[in-house]
Amino acid sequence: MADVLPIVDTHLHFLDLARFAYPWTEHPDFASLRRDYLPQDWQADAGEREVLAGVHVQAEVDHAIDPAQETAWLASLPEPVAPMVHVAYADLRAADLDDVLARHRAHPAVRGIRQEAWFDPQSTRADIPRVNLLSDPTWRAGLARLPVHGLSFDLLVWPHQLVHAAEIFAALPQLAVVVEHTGLPPLGDAAGMQLWRDGLARFAATVPHAVLKISAMAFIASGWTTGVVGPIVREALEIFGPQRCMLGSNFPVDRGAASYAEIWSGYEQITADLSAAERTALFSGTALRTYHIDLAS
């Protein structure tokens, strides 16, 4: 039996469908997610698990509204099962970017920004951009504004974008960057998996201030079993090292594939042979450091 470890859950989304529109949930793949997910729901899912802290990542609220509205709403929610910090949304190309970032930072829980960059011109999903933000000089200039405001960046890209992204973030050593969702390894695609390995290795080697968020494994594996997920987690750990990796549930998105307990007990089983220091870093330490979470306060 694997040890039960205290965790920092680095990837959660709260949803309030009466308050906000979430265009991505209109896609048929997400029909089951067209319902609220609030702190009390997370607390129910966590059960008896010892959760030290959580990281709420912007939930792709309709981009037509002021993104600071989601941040203000999160600040108004009751304290959940554990202290929360937030990764907010901003369009890094916007003319009023500094104003948006300042209004996010007016809320003490905000730690970073995410603007999804996994582009696909053929996609019909609202959360996948049709243009390559990595090639936009205005977007790259916006990245450089984040450390001025004391913010990190959560990066979501496809494997074939990782090498280009590594070049961009290597030139921004002052910007802490989190590679999300394990770099999206495309299981079953041998060529794509090699792109993933090469791109992730390039990122780890050339962007020493980057960390890897192992999350969204149900999206990657179309299911959640240690037999399927385990080899990907271990390969990711081999590339980045446990001291530069952290774990996330991706709830409620991954809720249909596995329960909260199954995901975290699965991570424990997969990493049972790591040292105590490596597991502490992976389950909590890297996240506490990266997102500047002070449990004492």
CA–CA dist 67, 65 (Å, integer): 6
Instruction: Round the CA-based radius of gyration of the chain to a whole number and report it.
Output: 18
Q: Which residue from 206, 99, 114, 180 is spatially nearest to 152, judged by alpha carbons?
A: 114
In the prediction, which pLDDT does 2 show? 59
Residue 297 within any structural domain of the chain: no
In the prediction, which pLDDT does 33 show? 86
In the prediction, which pLDDT does 78 show? 87
Task: Give pLDDT tens digits for 105-161.
Answer: 999 999 999 999 999 888 888 788 889 999 999 999 999 999 999 999 999 999 999
Residue 255 within any structural domain of the chain: yes
Residue 121 within any structural domain of the chain: yes
- β-bridge pairing 51-57 and 210-214: unpaired
Residue 1 within any structural domain of the chain: no
Residue 65 within any structural domain of the chain: yes
Two tokens at 267? 């991570």
CA–CA dist 252, 33 (Å, integer): 7
C-alpha dihedral over 210, 213, 219, 221, to 10 degrees?
Answer: 100
For residue 93, give its domain range: 7-290
The residues, any chain, with a CB within 8 Å of residue 191's CB and separated by 6 or more, are: none
CA–CA dist 151, 103 (Å, integer): 12
Q: Which residue from 291, 271, 293 is spatially nearest to 280, judged by alpha carbons?
A: 271
Whether 195 and 160 have beta carbons less than 8 Å apart is answered as yes
161 phi/psi in degrees, rounded to 5: -95, -10
Whether 59 and 13 have beta carbons less than 8 Å apart is answered as yes
In the prediction, which pLDDT does 129 show? 85
For residue 210, CA distances in Å to 33, 166, 169, 171, 259 come to 31, 9, 8, 12, 29
DSSP state of 67: T
Per-residue model confidence as pLDDT tens for the chain (297 residues): 457 899 999 999 999 999 999 999 988 888 888 999 999 999 999 999 999 999 999 999 999 999 999 999 999 998 777 889 999 999 999 999 999 999 999 999 999 999 999 998 888 887 888 899 999 999 999 999 999 999 999 999 999 999 999 999 999 999 999 999 999 999 889 999 999 999 999 999 999 999 999 999 877 776 788 998 999 999 999 999 999 999 999 999 998 889 999 999 999 999 999 999 999 999 999 999 999 999 986
Residue 276 within any structural domain of the chain: yes
CATH number at residue 83: 3.20.20.140
What's the structural domain count of the chain? 1
Cis ω for the linkage preceding 186 (within 30 of 0): no
| CA 275 to the chain's CA centroid | 25
